[in-house]
Amino acid sequence: MKIIHFKSISLLIEEEKITYTGKELEPLWAFERYSIQRDSIVAFRGKIEVPLENMKDLKDVKEEGFRSKALITSSDAINFIVEHFDNPDLKITYLRQRLLVLITKEVLEEISGKRIVRRGDDLYYKGGKLSVSIASRGISSGKIHIGINISKKGTPPYIKTSSLEDLGVNVEEDSVLDIMESVGRRYGEEMDKIEEDIRKTKCLF
């Protein structure tokens, strides 16, 4: 486990594999598991198995709910869990999610040399869905999840998917950890820069 503290957020890179089930979107998950009592972005590798009861996207539930008890699945993925405690409304949380998705796209394009397409909060490669993502908020914090398929194995058969393997990215353990750190660092740096910009800008009135 590796922890990098920025001024406004902490990045934790977990070396052990964890299965993402959607429960990780509960408030204070990073504090309960890792004792991080501030804004955080936690990166880990593992399966994605989100059952119906943990789904936060009502549109997905209504469209796909009859097909499988585990609607969001992948046998191997990179996962990021972000939590902010500055009482963000849902719109700000979704804007932060888009920023994280764009940073992920930027990092993966630099590594692979391939063009990745973003549509909303999803990434695609050659028409195949490369990622899953959700933003939500509770009483105390806003939460974000993004998962990037390392392999297409275990992804839903009724959805065309793509993966880091399709991009030709090295998916050995050290390389995946480097991707986690690159994305997490850029997000942390963006959060710090935004905070700095807020504190240098004069009001209009």
pLDDT tens per residue across span 106-157: 999 999 999 999 999 999 999 999 999 999 998 899 999 999 999 999 998 8
Tokens 């979107």 — which residue? 25
Q: What is the pLDDT of residue 109?
A: 98
Residues spanned by the domain of 10: 2-198
Cα-Cα-Cα-Cα torsion 83, 86, 91, 97, nearest 10 degrees, comes to -30
Inside any domain, residue 97: yes
Average pLDDT, the chain: 90
Q: What is the pLDDT of residue 58?
A: 45
Inside any domain, residue 204: no
Whether the pLDDT of residue 57 is over 70: the answer is: no
| CATH code assigned at 114 | 3.30.930.10
CA 62, CA 71: separation in Å to the nearest integer? 11
Whether the pLDDT of residue 8 is over 60: the answer is: yes
Inside any domain, residue 127: yes
* 46, 69, 82, 85 from 9: Cα distances, Å: 23, 35, 10, 10
Inside any domain, residue 70: yes
Inside any domain, residue 137: yes
Inside any domain, residue 190: yes
With left for phi above 0 and alpha for psi between -120 and 50, is residue 15 left, alpha or beta? alpha
Inside any domain, residue 184: yes
Inside any domain, residue 122: yes
Q: What is the pLDDT of residue 72?
A: 80
Encoded tokens for 178: 């480097």
Q: Which strand (E) or helix (H) includes residue 137? A: strand 131-137
* Number of structural domains in the chain: 1
pTM over 0.85: yes
